[in-house]
């Protein structure tokens, strides 16, 4: 006798309106199916994991539960919930794809399953996310693949990842494509997902950081825009920003303090 297979999905139950709103908004943005639960006592069989708050987690006894407000971000909580939903404790191989740039896109593909797509605020933030991914998704083997564009940002990212001891490949990201109508954040994460599946050349050592005069001028111009034309940072400070030694906000703050003294 054939039995129908129940496809498990995520459930949300919380009386914390703000948390509920953040969860629903993020799940919709990521196109992840979910069910908003009206009661903690009558959970449909198709619910595999419930997202709730830390204060309500003890209301559930038998289900897999995630306290979404106990994580650094809602995205991380959802990633953990998806990991539990899949029910996979150890992957054979995970590919981490990175689309380099000022705000890099990152994607995680484990055993042919797209596990995560996200965008981070700066090249230096990539290593933090990769460390979290390795912790949340155990695998026998990892491989990092990064697009060949945005050379300075790319090299900064690679140099920060080398100490992790994971093989890194540089791939031709021109083979990836996404709609120009798609939002920038989505394009970057989609490109990262495509990059994760492309073979590239192995990185053997740390790569040089050699900002051009044009790079320095662009950072100075950006600082002038941020300060609404009051001043632009020095070439020395711009160089530190480009090498990842300080953020643009820090450089502006430091030079603003110097001018006021």
CA–CA separation, 89 and 145 (whole Å)? 23
Condensed to tens digits (0 to 9), the pLDDT of residues 86-113 reads: 877 789 999 999 999 888 999 999 998 8
pLDDT cut 70: percent of the chain above it: 90
Roughly how many angstroms between the first and final C-alpha of the chain, as a whole number? 83
Count CA atoms within 13 Å of residue 260 on its CB side.
7
What's the order of all strands across the beta sheet hosting 105-110? 113-119, 105-110, 94-99, 142-147, 168-171, 201-202
Condensed to tens digits (0 to 9), the pLDDT of residues 237-261 reads: 988 888 888 888 888 988 887 766 5
Condensed to tens digits (0 to 9), the pLDDT of residues 161-214 reads: 999 999 999 999 876 554 343 444 455 678 898 999 999 999 989 888 888 888
Confidence band (pLDDT; 50, 70, 90) for 15?
Answer: very high
With a cut of 90, say whether residue 34 has pLDDT above it. Answer: yes
Confidence band (pLDDT; 50, 70, 90) for 2?
Answer: very low
- pTM listed for this prediction: 0.69
């Amino acid at each position: 006798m054939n039995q129908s297979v129940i496809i498990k999905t995520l459930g949300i139950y919380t009386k914390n309106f703000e948390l509920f709103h953040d969860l629903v908004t993020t799940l919709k943005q990521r196109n992840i199916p979910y069910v908003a639960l009206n009661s903690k006592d009558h959970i449909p069989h198709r619910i595999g994991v419930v997202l709730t708050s830390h204060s309500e987690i003890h209301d559930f006894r038998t289900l897999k539960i995630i306290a979404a407000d106990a994580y650094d971000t809602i995205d991380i909580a959802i990633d953990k919930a998806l990991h539990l939903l899949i029910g996979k404790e150890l992957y054979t191989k995970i590919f981490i794809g990175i689309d380099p740039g000022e705000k890099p896109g990152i994607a995680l593909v484990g055993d042919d399953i797209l596990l995560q797509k996200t965008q981070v605020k700066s090249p230096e933030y990539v290593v933090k996310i990769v460390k979290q991914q390795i912790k949340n998704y155990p695998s026998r083997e990892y491989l990092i693949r990064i697009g060949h564009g945005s050379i300075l940002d790319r090299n900064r990212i690679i140099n920060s990842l080398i100490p992790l001891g994971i093989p890194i490949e540089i791939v031709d990201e021109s083979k990836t494509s996404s709609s120009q109508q798609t939002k920038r954040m989505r394009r970057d994460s989609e490109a990262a997902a495509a990059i994760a599946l492309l073979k590239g050349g192995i990185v053997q050592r740390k790569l040089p950081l050699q900002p051009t005069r044009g790079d320095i001028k662009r950072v100075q111009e950006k600082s002038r825009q941020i300060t609404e034309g009051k001043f632009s940072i020095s070439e020395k400070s711009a160089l530190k920003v480009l090498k990842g030694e300080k953020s643009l906000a820090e450089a502006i703050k430091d030079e603003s303090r110097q001018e006021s003294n």
